[in-house]
Structure 1
Amino acid sequence: MSELKNKKQFILICAGVILNEKMEKRRKRKWAKEWLLERTLHSDIYLVNKLKLTEPEDYKCYLRMKDEQFQELLSLVDPFIKKQDTLMRTAISSEQRLILTLRFLATGNDYSDLKFSSRISPQAIGKIVPETCLAIYNTLKKKYLKFPSSESDWKAIANGFKTNWDFENCLGAMDGKHVLITKPPNSGSYFYNYKGTFSVVLFAIVNANYEFIYVHEGTNGRISDGGVLRRTDFFEKLENHELHIPPPEKLQNSSFVCPYGFIGDEAFSLSENIWKPFPQSGISKEERIFNYRLSRARRIVENVFGILCLRFKMFQRPIKINLEHIDAAILACCALHNFLRAHSLDYITQKCVDREDFESGTLAPGNWRQEDEFLPLETQNPRRATNSAKDIRNKLKDYYNNEGKVSFQNKMCGFSEN
């Protein structure tokens, strides 16, 4: 009995020693690294405040916006990202959360890199960035990414294309681009695109003022332009005549009653409301001129994608965040593009976009083309066009070679003025 009693006492003593050691480790353990706890002294919020006072251009480069735009954005998203302090720790402020998110979008740096400038752990960044991106998109889309809902809305867009780009009855220029991502776990070839990388597709329609009017994000990278379009709610509503598009109207100085439509590249299927260029093989002079006129208006969407890539360098490398958070980051950039387009006169500079020289008949590419990392979608055989769709395109071709011609079109196409 005494031997058994001694064993029990020994076991209890050992258990007590182990428990004391664990408690001692807990007392010594820190809930955060010491240098992360110095956020109040060394985070990038102090750099931002210093730049605001001394170097406004560097401030703008750092956040991709001026201070007045940042403050307005902060006031909009604050109610959705603000956190309460606790007895254990002080919450990361809304200002810090927004600065961190804008730096991620502006640079595309990994969370493990951003922790050094923000003094925020990668685990916390992984929650803050998606949450703030979603708040940016949800607050801005109501005013700055509003989809047209009436005939008057659509006519305002059509008037912009007529005034700025000499193309009538156009409701928007559309295109799609691959956004590179790292391969999601257990995804196989689902996001594998024709260039051997992994991506999701951003489909967009833009107006004549370099602004998004519709974005659809998340289609896997294996899909072509036309395939992406058919997966959108926009296409479903277009097919079901639910977009409130204005009825056909006569073109200027013409008896041709033309429907309103959208313009795209060769990958889309030609229809009564979707117009694309003639095939290049065996093309006539009149068809070439029509292609130029359509391309001149459609080039707007290419420039918008290019500017997006130039301003938000997140798009210049594969995005290394969880798949479920990628949509929010991309949509936030689209909403910010429209927000900054509306509030900053120098957000798009003259050198940002493609520029035509009518005297020499040349096109000067925008400087975004030097840094554009968007991968165009693979062109596949589109669906066969109806005779009605072909007839509309032929009549548009005739119109832009006669009543609707402009003085510079021959020279820009390489033909003599005569």
Structure 2
Amino acid sequence: MNNAEYVTDFLRTVEKIARITNIANELYKKLHASKRRWVCPVNLTRQEESFFKTCIKQLKEKDEEHFFKVTRMNVSSFNILLSLLKQRMERFSNRKAIDPETRLAVTLLFLAQGCNFHVISWAYKIAISTVRKIIYETCDAIWNELHVVYISPPNLSELKGIANSFYVKTGLPNCLGAIDGKHIRITSPRNSGCLYNNYNKTFSVVLMAACDSNYVFTHVDVATLESQSDGGIFARSAFGSKLLGGTLQVPCDTNLPGTSTSFPYYYVGDSSFPLKPNLMRPFPGRHLAEDKNKFNLALSKARVHIENAFGILANRWRVLATTIHAFPKNVDKIVLATVVLHNFLMLQNDSNYFPLEHVDHSVGNKEINGRWRKEVNSLESFHPRTANRSSSKAFQLREKLKEFISSTAL
């Protein structure tokens, strides 16, 4: 082979190598692009094709009934809530950030329907990790921004108003509210041992709360359940420790209506709570004297308000009736956000959120169960297993209250 032929073959070889290299580069670019599209297709179509743009926005503008079913509030309440949270929910990024309206709609859908994160991800065309982040951040914003206004402890004047309302509705004087606790099921946290394990051998946190005569929560606390000492849940809660320790701000003792008998203000609970001067519970047993039965009936009429408040809460925010798949700190955010939203909508007088037939009520002499009892599985009540010790003063006060109830017509 002469030099000319050698050079020619060499150039042909270089040309083939260059062609193969170019083909390989093109294949790599296509493969890389396809992977990028598969991992994050939501970023390319989020604004044009997302569930919010194609469905929620249309419902908001044209179909308020179905908008309520998705968000659990009317358009007016949604807009007010958005205005209260907008500044805290705004985000800034090199690319177009998800707007506050979409963030709020995503969170309300999750809370109202108890949807799986994957379902919301596909509906809104947002990555699952982003969906989780949006929901946790928005729940946190709802609590931090609004709880001071919508779950602030009542002042003395407001407490007297609550007591007057309970007396008018139930015949029970000096009652400041009804208290109860409910289990919120969660998945087993890693390395938690028995920390969240309840007596049914499932995992949960306990939502402790008190409400007024209008089913609005006045005190709320999410407590960790320790199966070996669940009787101390109420005592360890912020509200319970103040109530049992006598440091909770309440009005001074006042005379029972129409009498000269001085009596303290108090809360009511079921038989799982201790009997204290500021915490009344029913007489135990079934075959009771008439005066004790009458007392228990009046107490039950007041106590059922917290049962109905929890019923409305779980019916409207159905994530609470599911097993929440989140770390405990995020479960707290979710639960507390639903309580704030409940109070927000109750105080907004949103008639769709709270129609009267939704709770237990009377028609003439007939007692009718609230609609929530038929529509959703009620939350499991929290029942302490430890014995409750009561003072002689507490027993004496209950006897006085029983005598007053027995002497008045309910």
Place the TM-score, normalised by the shorter chain, in its bin: 0.7 to 0.9
- 1:254 paired with 2:259, answer yes
What residue number does 2:179 align with? 174
Structure 2: which 5+ residue stretches go unaligned? 1-20
Is residue 43 from structure 1 mapped to residue 47 from structure 2 by the alignment? no
AA of the residue aligned to 1:166? G
- 2:375 matched to 1:367? no
> Which residue number corresponds to residue 33 of structure 1?
40
Which residue does the alignment assign to 1:8? Answer: none
What is the alpha-carbon distance in structure 1 between the residues aligned to residue 226 and residue 383 of structure 2? 10
Matched-pair contact (CA < 8 Å) for 1:177–1:377: yes
Aligned residue number for residue 222 of structure 2: 217
* TM-score, normalised by the number of residues in structure 1: 0.86
Is this contact kept in 1: 2:268–2:303, CA < 8 A?
Answer: yes
Number of residues of Structure 1 aligned to a counterpart in Structure 2: 384
Q: Which residue of 1 aligns with 2:85?
A: 77
Q: Which moved more, 1:208-217 or 1:363-372?
A: 363-372
Q: Does the residue aligned with 2:224 lie in a helix, a strand or coil?
A: strand
Partner of 1:100: 106
Q: Would you say 1:121 and 2:127 are equivalent positions?
A: yes
Q: Distance in 2 between matches of 1:122 and 1:231?
A: 36
Contact 1:199 1:221 in 2 (8 A): no
Listed one character per residue, the Cα deviations across residues 378-410 of structure 1 (whole Å, up to 9, x for unaligned) are: 3424322111100100111111010x332xxxx
Separation in structure 2 between the aligned mates of residue 97 and residue 267 of structure 1, nearest angstrom: 40
Which amino acid in 2 is paired with 1:34?
P
Give 1:42 shift.
Answer: 1.8
Matches within 5 A, 1:261-280: 261-280=266-285
Give 1:227's match in structure 2, choosing from 226, 232, 238.
232
Specify which of 308, 324, 328 is matched with residue 303 of structure 1: 308
Q: State the alpha-carbon separation in 2 of the partners of residues 348 and 223 from structure 1.
A: 38
Moved more, 101-110 or 152-161: 152-161
Counterpart contact for 1:210–1:303, Cα < 8 Å? yes
User: Cα distance, 1:225 vs. partner?
Assistant: 7.4
Deviation at 1:27, TM superposition (A): 6.2
- When the two chains are superposed, the root-mean-square deviation of aligned CA atoms in Å is 2.3
Task: Give the partner amino acid of 2:175.
Answer: C
| Post-superposition CA distance 1:156-191 (Å, at most 9, x none) | 221221223221101110000000111112222321
- TM-score, normalised to structure 2, is 0.88
1:303-337 Cα deviation digits (max 9, x unpaired): 00000111011012101122220101100000000
SS at match of 2:162: helix
1:219, distance to aligned residue in structure 2 (A): 2.1
Contact 1:268–1:382 under 8 Å retained in 2? no
**Deviations 1:23-79 (Å, cap 9, x if unpaired)?**
856566427432552111221212111112221100111111111111111111111
Give the secondary structure class of the aligned counterpart of 1:376: coil
| Correspondence 1:146 to 2:176 | no
Which amino acid in structure 1 is aligned with residue 51 of structure 2? D
Paired with 1:218 and 1:201, the residues of 2 have a C-alpha distance of: 5
Q: Secondary structure at the match of 2:36?
A: coil
Residue 334 of structure 1: aligned partner: 339
Q: Which residue number in structure 1 is paired with residue 61 of structure 2?
A: 53
1:353: how far off?
Answer: 0.5
Matches within 5 A, 1:234-253: 234-253=239-258
Alignment correspondent of 1:12: none
- Residue matched to 1:10: none
Identity %: 34
Aligned to 2:391: 386
Moved more, 350-359 or 289-298: 350-359
- Show structure 1 runs of 4+ deviating over 6 A: 19-23
Deviation, 1:279, is 0.1
CA apart distance, 1:295: 0.4
- 2:167 matched to which residue of 1? 162
Contact 1:224 1:267 in 2 (8 A): no
235-244 or 139-148: bigger deviation: 235-244
Cα distance in 2 for partners of 1:222, 1:64 equals: 34
Per-residue deviation, residues 242-270 of structure 1 (Å, max 9, x unmatched): 32311111111122211111100000010
Deviations, residues 218-256 of structure 1 (Å, cap 9, x unaligned) = 322637875221011223323444323111111111222
Secondary structure in 2 aligned to 1:172? strand
